[in-house]
Every structure is written in structure tokens, then in C-alpha cells.
Amino acid sequence: MSKVQDSKRSAIRSYAVGYGLALVLTGLAFATVHWRLFDRGAIWPVVLALGLVQALVHFRCFLHISLRRSARDDLLLILFTTLIIILMASGTLVILRNLHMRMM
């Protein structure tokens, strides 16, 4: 086979594996909450962990971001964007919590 056909098959295989893993991880998260597979206090960390694993699956299978030297710039850009979003969301939560405490 030619290199073009091999690369197409590899890409399709990557998308199929990513789609399957995304479905399984989403199903596990919903099942964990719906059937209460863990204690009440452990459900949130389990769902968070499943979400992080799913994000890694999306990075690897759909965005084709790996730890190779050529893809590290893209990875750093995504990690920086994630850091900014986390800072903005956590700052918003701190402000809302402060406003809630002042109103009560």
C-alpha cells in the first residue's frame, strides 16, 4: 500500500478508537451518577477523573496532539489556554461565593 492509504487508515483508526473511548467514558460518567456506583463524596472526583481522561483521549485521537517534539508547541498552547480558563472560572466562583456569604 502507499503511504497515503496507510495514513488515511491510521487516521480513520484513530478516530474510531477515540469515538469508542469517548462513548465508553461518557457512559461510565453517566452510570456513576445515575446508579450511584460510589459514595456521595466520591462521585465528583470520579466524574472529574473520567472527564480528564476523556480530554486526553480527545487531544490524542481527534486533535492528534502527542508528546513528539513537533507537537509540543500545540500542547503548550492548549495547556496555557486551559490554565487561563481555569483561572477565570475559579475567580468567578470565588467572587460568587463572596457575594453569597455577604448576602446571607
pLDDT in tens, 22-56: 999 999 999 999 999 999 999 999 999 999 999 99
Query: What does the mean pLDDT of the chain come to?
Result: 92
Torsion 66-67-68-72 (CA) sign = positive
When computed from its CA atoms, the radius of gyration of the chain, rounded to whole angstroms, is 19
Q: Report residue 17 CA to chain centroid gap.
A: 15
| Stated pTM of the model | 0.75
